[in-house]
Amino acid sequence: MSTARFSHVARSFAGTLATLTLAVGVSHAQSIGPAAFVANNGNVEGSVSAFTFTPNGTAAFVGELNIGTNPQTISITPNGRFVATAHGTASDTVEELTIMEVGPGAALTEATVKLVDDSPLDIEWIDDEYLAVTHTSLSETNELVIYQFDAEVNSLTEVERKPTGNFSHRIALHPTRAFIYAQDSSLNDIHAFSIGAGGALTLIETQDTGTTYPLEMAITNDGTKLYAAGGISNGGNKVQGFVIESDGSLTPMAGSPFTSPGASPAYLAVSRDDKYLYVGHGTDATCRAFTINPTTGQITATGYSFDVGLQGTLGDLAVLANVMLITDESTATDGIRGLYSFTIQTNGALVQNGTILDTQGVTPESIAVWLPPWPLGDMNCDGSVNGFDIDGFTLALSNPAAYATTWPLCDIALADVNGDGSVNGFDVDGFVDLLGG
């Protein structure tokens, strides 16, 4: 569409705003929206805290559910119905998995508790039915264990387990849910598995990571790149990068491992558009932004960062649409503990949304996030398509960057009403039709 034609369409569209608003009324039905759940790793008073968000990324505390000792990691089903936590207690033989159901407004109720092997230090829902859990031990072969969850009777049944080395405590799920990766920070390698029917695992390869051991891993949303934090190994400032091949195997990126200006990389998160890798550091408690080369995957520090404060107080990172969440796990020195929310800017910088919110639990660490499937044309992401979406649609067409930071929990692709892969004046007629019902 020519510039002149687009301007004409935009003026015509703007001229109908008042009429459209009257036609569609001011109904503002609110569905259950974006949510985050934080595992509070208390020795006795372990709990999970729930948060909801306004469309501009501001968090609101919902409540806290006490679930027992040391819930260390957390995951939510793709449909947003169940949250699972893994408890790493002082037991030498068995631990617990807790499954919670998510109710209206993101409130949690306990569904079931399952006794499992010692030290389930990471957990990840493969889909709404199968749950992957690490069996981490200093004295036994470590394993990746798959459980089948029956939502009708709230039961967990083991269906598969595979060895993963000497100290495997982190897993990463491919966005296609066809592959899963388990690291071993003792033997310095990453185990790549394919996921088959019924939760069956098949080892694809064991990728050597050299002198840098892998800790937490993160995979880009397009499924082509995997990064692993190197912790205190190899100088205490390394992040490894791998290309994910079509069969799920890994190929080290040229230039990997990459050097971070921070100390002891331990946590990773990727922006929704795959432009930025965020690295949380244990020693200096900073979250730092890196650009991702879309072709090679190589990362470069942007210079943008956020300092949580005291050493060891950064608990976790998680990306919810265009919002970055960070936990501060200790009140030491500054009296601050809880969940931070930031809007990710187009240059990778983080702008804080409101103040840090107390989780009201001891030692907030791991974060699980959920975003609802917004309907096409829902430009303010309130769950409905109506006159309140007109401003967002207009901004998406005229200034996409401003739209991304004004409604960070939305997706500009919702304005692609005609489905041609672009957001432009050709979408206006279809959007008007959506408003008219």
**Domain ranges, ordered by start, for the chain:** 3-29+386-435, 35-370
pLDDT in tens, 415-430: 999 999 999 999 999 9
- pLDDT tens-digit readout, 246-258: 999 999 999 999 9
What digits encode the pLDDT tens for the residues 72-88? 999 999 999 999 999 97
227-240 confidence digits (pLDDT tens): 999 999 999 999 99
3-state secondary structure of 9: helix
Q: What pLDDT score does 331 carry?
A: 87
Cα 260–chain centre separation: 22
Q: What is the pLDDT of residues 95-153, one digit of tens each?
A: 899 999 999 899 999 999 998 887 899 999 999 999 999 998 888 899 999 999 999 99
Q: What pTM was estimated for this model as a whole?
A: 0.91
Checking DSSP bridges between strand 217-219 and strand 201-208, what pairing results, if any? unpaired
Query: Considering only CA atoms, which of 68, 158, 157 is closest in space to residue 110?
Result: 68
Report the chain's mean pLDDT, rounded to a whole number: 90
Decide if 57 contacts 80 (C-beta within 8 A).
Answer: no
Q: Quick one: angle between helices 17-24 and 3-15, nearest 10?
A: 50
Q: The tokens 């009296």 sit on which residue?
A: 335
For residue 324, what are the β-bridge partners?
Answer: 319, 342
Tokens 């306990």 sit at which residue? 110
Element (H, E) at 86: strand 82-87
pLDDT of amino acid 254: 97
Q: How far apart are CA 123 and CA 424, in angstroms?
A: 41
| Per-residue confidence (pLDDT) for residue 89, from 0 to 100 | 67
Does 177 have pLDDT greater than 90?
Answer: yes
Would the pLDDT of 156 be above 90?
yes
CA-to-CA separations, 380 to 17, 79, 251, 392, 416, in angstroms, rounded: 16, 21, 40, 6, 14
pLDDT tens for residues 4-56? 434 444 444 444 443 343 334 333 233 468 999 999 998 778 999 999 998 88
Task: Please report where in the chains the tokens 């034609």 appear, as a residue.
Answer: 5
User: In the prediction, which pLDDT does 291 show?
Assistant: 98
* Token couple for 41: 């790793």
Mean per-residue pLDDT, 361-373: 95
How far is the C-alpha of 243 from the C-alpha of 294, rounded, in Å?
A: 11
The residue to which tokens 């994910």 are assigned? 244
Alpha carbon distances (Å) from 72 to 48, 155, 161, 211, 434: 10, 21, 21, 27, 44
**Token duo for residue 302:** 């942007």
What confidence tier does 91 reach under pLDDT thresholds 50, 70, 90?
Answer: low
Reduced to 3 states (helix: H, G, I; strand: E, B; else coil), residue 180 is: strand
Architecture label for domain 35-370: 7 Propeller (2.130)
Q: Return d(Cα 259, Cα 269) in angstroms, integer.
A: 17
CB 371 within 8 Å of CB 321: yes
Residue 7: predicted pLDDT = 42
- Residue 25, pLDDT score: 36
Sign of the CA dihedral with 178 first, then 75, 275, and 381 last: positive
